[in-house]
Each structure stands twice: as structure tokens, then as C-alpha cells.
Homo-oligomer: A and B are copies of this chain.
């Protein structure tokens, strides 16, 4: 199933965020009428309406849905404070808020929802690659547990109601717009300035997608009639050290900018089985890792330059 045309009115929550902005752009380009909601949704040329709203407030959340009356929903909003969201008690509130949103969406005529989860729903102490059926029963963090709990309940709800619910488990990602405290901006700045960077987990293997490919995958899932969980990833592992080497090469720097932290934890591998995304939803990424890193590095350096003026 290749999504070649699009229809419908989609509400994107978390539309002002890193993934949200790219998703709004992508869905509007595909022909959807796109409405945005979230804490920090600013006007975006691709948005028909923008709603600044605290989605944890049941009345405010319901009011937006009843005003927009979307046929489609892409729900990205969640607690995401950098470095805190792993243990944030508000994870529990987002479970309730998401399940309420799904019901309000259904009651106002919604037909198809793509809700967003994470690779943290898998137990990283087990060997990968992780297929969708491997999720649970013990994710390692409150964030992962809360996402998994929401995926189980919302997909089961879709099965007993006249509502399609798909659940996109996004693995690691990078791209223009990402927070400067994330790993790639750190690697880029270190390589560019020749400053050694001490990493806690240089040999950790992750599975990364460019944010525009994440948006493309969400679009492919939304435009299909498929339900249940989907891994959103490349299916290929890369270690932090290997990413540092690519970034070092691009900078013309030597790769010893990366140093293993003495307490480095034993390396885990968090790589996806992307069979469902590739074969069922018909999605393949547009960016190779090298292209994506080249392009994102340029954006990061531009930003850093801007910040010093």
C-alpha cells in the first residue's frame, strides 16, 4: 500500500514540536487539511488552524476536537522535558489524557488515529531486533511503561469500536530542529571545535531515522487502513561511535574526539524489525544515514553560528 493520494481533515497534537512540525509539513503537502494543537503551537503556513492548549485539561482538549471535528488524528503530544520525562509522574496523566482524547475523537466522528509511542516500550535488556509483538511486559522506564500501557489499551479500544487505531513506535531520530542537548548536536559541536567529548555509551547501538522520514512513515501509516503497532525506524543499527566517526569525517577532524566514560554501561542494541513498516505500510526512508547527517550537521552549525551573534 503506497499512499499516493490523501484526503481528510487531520488534527496533529504536539504540532509545535520536533516531529510535529515535520509531520504538519508532510501531511499538508500530501493534501490533508491540517489542524494543530499543543502547548507551543505557533502559526505554521501549512496549518489551517492552530490551537494553543493544555491537552491534560479534559475540557480544553475536548473543545479543540469538537471544534475541528477531524476525520484523522496524529497524536504526538506527551511529556517531553529533556532528561526528566523518563521518570516524570505526568506520564500517568498523559495515559489518561490520550485515552480521553481517543474517545472524544471517536465521538466527534473520527475514523482513523495514529498515536505515537517509542522504542522504550521494548525491554532493552533483551536481544533485538525488536518486532512489534515483542513489546512488554517490562519496559525499563516509567516513560516506556506508560507508552506501552497506552498502546495496549488504545489498540484494544479500536478493535471493539468503529475506529482504526495504529500505534507508531518511533526509535531514535535526528534532523533539523532537534534540541541542542541531544547527542548529534553534541557530536557535531565537539568535532567542529576539536573538543574531546566523553560519552557514557559509545558502543550503544541505536536505530535512527531522519525526522522527515519519521514524518513520511507517519503519513504512510495514516494513509493506510492498517491498525496496531508499527516500528518507525530504519532497521539498521549504528553505534554512537560510528555516528561520531561520520561527523568527524565531515568536519575533517580526527575521531578521537569521542572518549568512553569510565562508568560506561554495557552496550545495548536498540534496533527495530521494520517488516511491518516496509512490507505492510510500504514505507522506505528517503535519506541515507550519510546524507541525513551531512544535511543536519549543516543546520546545526548554522544554528550554533546564529547563537553566537
Contacts and interface: CB of A to CB of B under 8 A. Distances in A.
A103 to B, nearest CB: 6
16 contacts: A89-B157, A89-B161, A92-B100, A95-B96, A133-B138, A135-B136, A137-B152, A139-B156, A141-B156, A142-B157, A144-B156, A145-B156, A146-B153, A148-B152, A149-B150, A149-B152
Contacts of A139: 152, 156
Interface string A83-106: 000010101110110011011000
Top-8 shortest CB links A-B: A96-B96, A145-B156, A136-B136, A149-B149, A149-B153, A92-B99, A87-B160, A149-B152
A159 interface: yes
Given A135-B136, A136-B135, A136-B136, A92 B153 contact: yes
A144 B152 CA distance: 10
Nearest to A88: B160
Contacts of A134: 137
Interface of A: 87, 89, 91-93, 95-96, 99-100, 102-103, 133-139, 141-142, 144-146, 148-150, 152-153, 155-157, 159-161
Nearest to A106: B89
Contacts of A161: 89
A218 to B, nearest CB: 21
Given A137-B135, A142-B160, A152-B136, A103 B92 contact: yes
A29 B143 CA distance: 39
Nearest to A154: B92
Nearest to A159: B142
Contacts of A137: 133-137, 148, 152
A92 B157 contact: yes
Contact of A152 (B145, B155, B160): B145
Contacts of A135: 136-137
Contacts of A133: 137-138
Contacts of A99: 92-93, 95-96
A139 B153 CA distance: 10
A120 to B, nearest CB: 11
Contact of A92 (B87, B92, B102): B102
A177 B148 CA distance: 36
